[in-house]
Amino acid sequence: MRSRMFITGATGFLGGELAAQLIKSPQWDEALFLVRACSPAHGRLRLADTLLKHGVEFKLIPRLRLDQIICGDLNTAFEWGKDLHKLADQLDIINLAAVTSLSHQPSLWTSNVTAVVNMAGLLQGLCAVRRFIQVGIATSCGQQAISPVLESYDAREHTQHFLKYTASKYAAESQLRKKFPTLPLIAVRPSTIIGHSQHGCTTSGSMYWPFRIARALGCFPFKPQQAMDIVPVDYCAQALLFLSNKRKLADRIYHISSGLIDSCTFAEINASITQAVANSPVQNYQYKSTTEISKLQSQFPELLGACDTKLVMRAIRTYALFSLSGLTFSNQSLLDEGMPPPPPFSSYAGLCEITSQTSSIIEQMQHDYS
């Protein structure tokens, strides 16, 4: 029986980092990748470009073969599913593909819920699925949760979702469990992913822009001593591979998070950034509500650079939903499996700032809010 790893979303931020780590290992030869492309050659080109952006040495790129590329996306599983069946008898699936924008996208529910459920049903019927890792998000717990949020916490119909995006991640998990009770489902929920512990924001500035705005304005909906649960993308990828490779797992749900111990406060993060760029700390930083910050919109172009002030304000309001919750997420289940704890954000926040200098705040913001 030929067992293979099947990864969706490999050209994304987390998926790209996972592929970048995988190509350095013996497991790479048995990996398959779902890539939105018109041909295997086009798909190989897209994934190779992603690998290079994630710091993979050019000499390793020839390891990426055409027969590792499955052309399509989650919505076209009925077209590529039979091709996948010919290549593997047993699958370890890591589903990372998703619409991740914090703004409203018409295709969000179809891609993040309907297509995921349909793909799972199709593949379970075609192949022996050893493990199906569905990558969600820790904040799918809802606004009503209390820190530290345990892996087992579920408010069910009482969940007050932050956004349609977080609701879609909750719905995908719930429907997979309900419709396919025999599916070997492992739900993995990262907290906020920002930067890379060794490369900062070189690959992506996703979710780092709020810290740049806070320092530029001297205020934000961050309380100085509020804990922030943030992890680097390389740690998330390591954890996913760790969970995929472990023969037996004790639980069915895992947070990839900093938890109470390794979460940092804004004051600690700001101090780290200040030290890295060798400038004075933000003077008289203040926590301000979104209502108060909205009164500063006329100053946005001067302080943040040329921008659509209304769009920036919408992005700040969206991020404030998460920051005001102050949620941290227990990572005890992951630690109990033997995974080491993550590096605190304060240990590499300065690197994120240094590597962000080639992008404007608005350009970074568009990673998450477009």
pLDDT above 80 for 2: no
Average pLDDT, the chain: 95
Q: The pTM is what?
A: 0.96
Question: How far apart, in whole angstroms, are the C-alpha atoms of residue 89 and residue 79?
Answer: 18
The reported pLDDT for the residue numbered 13 is 97
pLDDT at 1: 60
> What pLDDT is stored for residue 282 in this prediction?
72
Label residue 369 by pLDDT band (50, 70, 90): confident
Residue extents of the structural domains in the chain: 4-196+229-256, 208-228+264-326+345-367
Q: Which positions ≥6 away from 335 have C-beta within 8 Å?
A: 341
- List the structure tokens of 96: 């990372």
DSSP state of 110: I
Report yes or no: 255 and 189 within 8 Å, Cβ to Cβ: yes
**What is the fold of 4-196+229-256?**
Rossmann fold (3.40.50)
So what's the pLDDT on residue 370?
Answer: 62
Task: Output the six-digit token pair for 350.
Answer: 């300065």
186: left (phi over 0), alpha (psi -120 to 50) or beta: beta
What is the predicted pLDDT for the residue at 106? 85
Per-residue confidence (pLDDT) for residue 31, from 0 to 100: 97
- Looking at residue 63, the DSSP 8-state letter turns out to be G
The pLDDT tens digits of the residues spanning 267-293 come to 999 999 999 987 666 767 899 999 999
Calpha distance 338→245 (Å, rounded): 12
